[in-house]
Amino acid sequence: MNEKASVRIRITGRVQMVGYRFFTQQWAEDLYLDGWVCNNPDGSVFTEVEGKKTTIEKLITELKQGPRIATVDELDVKWGPFMNRFRGFRIKH
């Protein structure tokens, strides 16, 4: 299945100051996904991703685990249509 999609994900838990954004970027780049990731003021991490739906699902599996020193409590995942809005994957500051 090569259907393309977009997804918005809010990750809660101990996900800041543990390399979570870098972890997300590395996986997204390895999976050839486009988008961005940032820290939220409330301590969560937020990411928007576009690409093949099956590949995004692989990313979501990795995000549930996070880097070794992170503790992921929950992923709030909202799927949407592919909009072709991004080129590459970056960390927003």
Q: How many whole angstroms separate alpha carbon 71 and alpha carbon 82?
A: 30
Note the Cα 68 to chain centre separation in Å.
16
Q: How many whole angstroms separate alpha carbon 23 and alpha carbon 4?
A: 23
The residue annotated as part of the active site, out of 8, 10, 14, 39, is: 39
Q: How many whole angstroms separate alpha carbon 80 and alpha carbon 49?
A: 10
Respond yes or no: is residue 21 known to be catalytic.
yes
The residue annotated as part of the active site, out of 21, 40, 87, 90, is: 21
Q: Which sequence positions are flagged as catalytic?
A: 21, 39
